[in-house]
A and B are shown apart, each in its own frame.
Chain A
Amino acid sequence: MLFFLIPVVLMVYTSLESGGVLTGYRFSWAWGTYASALSGKGVFMVRSLEFALLTALGTIVIAFPAVYWIAFYGGRWKSTLLFMILLPYFVSFMIRTVMWKFILADNGPFLGTLKDAHLLPQQFRVLATPFAVVFGLIYNYLPFAALPLYVALERIDPAMIEAAKDLYADRTRAFLKVVLPLALPGLFAATLLTFVPATGDYVEAEVLGGTGSYMIGNIIQDEFLNRARYPIAAALSIVLMLGMVILTSIYARTLGTEDETLTAGMTA
């Protein structure tokens, strides 16, 4: 508990200091830091939210059909199939991202081959585009959507769906009226577990994107580690944290479910 609270309190303290890198920082209730930290950062905040939203949607849309099939038709291979989906994530997150950079490089194994075959124009590129960043985010956060969705779907009793059929629901209706509502806790957890971390992420934007697709995390990282403007960086970080807490609680209020699948997703 102290591991989390003390650092956060000290970060708030840091954000209220004033001074310069050379002269040192002194505590002074400098609320003005927040204004100067936020000015001009709107672009990055909006971009972060956009990318994170696309990540949440993308991971869910991509993972859902697969975990649906595994949960309902996997039989005794269920666990093995799920493990196969998760297998790539035993490689370090950094290596996965760097490998995508390698694969998608302008003259890398993938684009290079297509260009040599004249299937793509020479100047075509994937890296350093917003697409590459969202692609990387979706790839890296997929398990955080797949796991809670699987947990939720796996708990649904197939007899419920049979019952819907017996009551003359067609397939679409049975899916919309039975499967989807029962999968709601999973969808809820999946959006939170992908959206929140993706908002603060900066690695994909750095490795696969570049300055043109920087997110708010890149700015915080740069202010903290390269420029050592601690108060500004701390202020931005606090705004990010509060923003996430507020968004999360609004979301939880409107969709509110028990957090069982959420913790299942987090520990798995």
Chain B
Amino acid sequence: MSATAVAGGITRTIPGGHRKRWTRFILPAYTYLLMLFLVTPILMMMLYGFNDIPGDRQSPRFFGFTLEWYRRLFENTELTAAVRLSVTVAIVAAAIATVLGTLLGLALGRYGFRGRALLSFVIFMAIAVPEIVLGSSLLSMFVQVRVVPLGFVTILLAHIGFDVPFVAVTVRARVAGMDRSLEDAAKDLYATPVVAFYRVTLPIIAPGILAGFLLAFVLSLDDFVITQFVSGQTSTFPLWVYGASRIGIPPSVNVFGTLLFGLGVVLALLGAFSQGRRRAG
């Protein structure tokens, strides 16, 4: 790695094509190989969703191509219920977290107030601390405050809890990059603060809010650790897959995985599009 060549222009001055090999062939080849490696389990997931196996547990042998599992997608009622729960929780938690996170992001991005540094630190901690700490502290809370039994409500509350900081950070980034003089202009034109907020501020930070919502949705849909701690007997999609993996997963898991993957990619592209070209990634 230490021998990697840099900016193209200088290449000429050194004799021999030795330096170009790195940037022309070795590094790109490595990058594409890495991409291929990373995507291997995903390709396997998709491929085995078409596996024409005799039973209903996945097998390493590929028996042939069938669309059977797509046709019988909702046959496994337990799995279907788990997927439905995952999607419901993800949508509701992301929506609520977006409202709370946006307010928090706005507050952090623009107002100086007492405790602001502390608030920033807590948000940072909530994102940076290992998930298991959040999961176990939330479980401690739900066990201490026995208001609701472990299940849908606790899962939802936990998801809102871990989504909020991510939305706040995303919105704050957008608020920080915003031109304040636009709001001043609105006020000069006799807009009330409320009108200025809805007509000027909100449209400007909207892409950040949408990106925050999508991020929260994807995180919720994917979460395993925190959910396992607070779910009680209830299963979300990742929890169900985990349980099934001990005896072998049914091909419908591959199919649901493939469909949710498609959904995730579409949402990500939407999010990237709404964020515009200003921020890479």
Contacts and interface: CB of A to CB of B under 8 A. Distances in A.
B71 to A, nearest CB: 21
B229 interface: yes
Interface in A212-235: 217, 220-221, 224-225, 230, 233-234
Contacts of B261: 90-91
B23 A73 contact: yes
Interface string A1-29: 10111111011011000000000000000
A150 interface: yes
A268 B140 contact: no
A85 interface: yes
A78 B239 CA distance: 36
B2 interface: yes
Interface string B100-139: 0000100000000000000100111111111111101111
Contact of B41 (A86, A99, A175, A217): A99
Given A66-B31, A98-B245, A192 B38 contact: no
Contact of A14 (B31, B42, B140, B215): B140
A237 B2 contact: no
Contacts of A91: 41-42, 45, 257, 260-261, 264
Interface in A195-219: 196-197, 199-203, 207, 217
B30 interface: yes
A19 to B, nearest CB: 13
Interface in B26-47: 27-28, 30-31, 34-35, 38-42, 44-45
Among B1, B122, B129, which residue has the most Cβ atoms of chain A within 10 A?
B129
A263 B140 contact: no
Given A93-B224, A241-B133, A65 B44 contact: no
Nearest to B28: A69
Contacts, number: 257
B143 A14 contact: yes
Contacts of A263: 169, 173
A44 interface: no
A7 B137 contact: yes
Interface in B135-169: 136-141, 143-145, 160-162, 164-166, 169
B1 to A, nearest CB: 6
A97 B77 CA distance: 24
A234 B60 contact: no
Contact of A221 (B41, B161, B228, B280): B228
B241 A94 contact: yes
A1 B123 contact: yes
Given A158-B7, A267-B173, A88 B39 contact: yes
Interface residues of A, number: 95
A172 B2 contact: yes
A121 B208 CA distance: 54
Given A68-B4, A87-B39, A240-B132, A95 B45 contact: yes
A99 B45 contact: yes
Contact of B221 (A10, A85, A92, A203): A92
Given A11-B137, A196-B130, A224-B139, A98 B5 contact: no
Contacts of A174: 6
Across the A-B interface, give the 5 residue pairs with the lowest CB-CB distance, nearest first. Answer: A200-B130, A90-B264, A3-B161, A99-B41, A7-B137
Interface of A: 1, 3-8, 10-11, 13-14, 62, 64-66, 68-70, 72-73, 78-79, 81-88, 90-96, 98-103, 105, 107-109, 112, 139, 142, 147, 150-151, 154, 158-159, 161-162, 165, 171-172, 174-176, 179, 192-193, 196-197, 199-203, 207, 217, 220-221, 224-225, 230, 233-234, 237, 240-241, 244-245, 248, 259, 263-264, 266-268
Given A8-B133, A237-B136, A241-B130, 7 more contacts: A13-B140, A14-B143, A65-B4, A90-B268, A196-B129, A221-B132, A224-B136
20 contacts: A7-B134, A8-B137, A10-B140, A10-B144, A14-B143, A14-B144, A79-B280, A91-B260, A92-B241, A94-B224, A171-B3, A171-B4, A172-B3, A174-B6, A200-B131, A201-B131, A202-B225, A220-B132, A237-B137, A266-B127
